[in-house]
Structure 1
Amino acid sequence: MTDRERFEVEALGHVIGGRTEPTDDHWGGTRAVIRLDGTRFTPDATKGLDDFSHLEIVFRFHLTDPTDLNLGARRPRDNPDWPEVGIFGHRNMRRLNWLGVSRCRLLEVDGLDLHVEDLDAVHGTPVLDVKPWFAEMGPRGEQRQAGWTTTMLADYFAPTRER
């Protein structure tokens, strides 16, 4: 294995609708469509997906400024009240490969259109993978997290506010 491996990935679809700008909070109730590429997939690709209530979506943060990257430690949301945390202690868009993972509610499957709610990705976001959520694949054992995350994310999935 080399020090730096590169992999090529292709978008299998895009987010249509929903939010147009990434923001820190109020993603609750946001509805969008994940439109899968009809030149590569047929509706058979989504067969049986409607048996699931939630999806796990892997996507690319396509609006990230590549110069806004810090591979070391920084304060979450640049808040001086929170501790410095290394890049792997964050879940935001300031990542080396600009990959995001989101769990969202699946509302409807309409051919290659997946209607979802609470997907924290914006219109135009390239979708790299769609996986049904299996409860058995969730965390096992006791869970813990840093205290600042609970404060920071208190309004993350609060209902969308009018802008």
Structure 2
Amino acid sequence: MAAEKFAVEPIARIVGGRIEPTDDYWGGSRAIIRIDEGRFTPAATKGLEKFSHLEIIFRFHLTDPTDLNLGARRPRDNPDWPEVGIFGHRNMRRNNWLGVSRCRLVKVDGLDLHVEELDAADGTPVLDIKPWFSEFGPRGEVKQPTWTTQMLGLYFADPAEAQAKQGTR
């Protein structure tokens, strides 16, 4: 298969929220997706306030480009979980360094989209913004291995709540 190359330009950047990507505790995080005002007017966001959720495609800009394993490895290097290939997990060490996240839209303010639980760090380049249509969700039975549920149990936990729970143990 011949490799095809193409250029992609960010249309927005993440402002605020987390300053570095982490494996867990994205619950309660708030950020702004600031759309490029040099290319877009507020007309680009017209009608978006009617949606509760967005799907964001972004570039993992903070990941070390030399940290890419095209084969199989254990998720989070946990010896209790099976080795899976690069396409069997969703971490930031990806070909093309692309991420996809679904987040809650809190408010539209011109070209600023205020969101919650977007698992992308401050400064992240945004490549596309799409409203979430429930009709595009999975059809049919959804299945996944148990290690994914174990791994992601705290992914969208609120960090303050998680710390409080750990402090009571």
Q: TM-score by structure 2 length?
A: 0.94
Gapped regions of structure 2 (runs ≥ 5): 164-169
Q: Distance in 2 between matches of 1:6 and 1:147?
A: 36
TM alignment of 1:3-152, pairs within 5 A:
3-152=2-151
Q: CA RMSD in A?
A: 0.8
Q: Distance in 2 between matches of 1:151 and 1:62?
A: 27
Q: Distance in 1 between matches of 2:138 and 2:159?
A: 28
- 1:120-149 CA deviation, whole Å, 9 max, x = no partner? 000000000000000000000000001100
Identity percentage over the alignment? 74
Secondary structure of the 1:97 match is helix
Number of aligned residue pairs = 161
What is aligned with 1:156? 155
Q: Distance in 2 between matches of 1:3 and 1:83?
A: 32
Letter in 2 for 1:54: H
Secondary structure of the 1:115 match is strand
Secondary structure of the 2:90 match is coil
Q: Distance in 2 between matches of 1:63 and 1:135?
A: 31
Q: Distance in 1 between matches of 2:2 and 2:93?
A: 21
- TM-superposed CA distance for 1:160, in Å, is 2.4
Q: TM-score by structure 1 length?
A: 0.97
Q: Distance in 2 between matches of 1:147 and 1:160?
A: 23
Q: Distance in 2 between matches of 1:32 and 1:42?
A: 20
Q: Distance in 2 between matches of 1:70 and 1:131?
A: 30
- TM-superposed CA distance for 1:3, in Å, is 1.8
Secondary structure of the 1:88 match is helix
- 1:86-145 CA deviation, whole Å, 9 max, x = no partner? 000110110010000000000000000000000000000000000000000000000000
Q: Distance in 1 between matches of 2:6 and 2:27?
A: 33
Letter in 2 for 1:78: D
Considering fraction of residues, name the structure with more helix.
Answer: 2
* 4+ residue segments displaced more than 3 Å: none
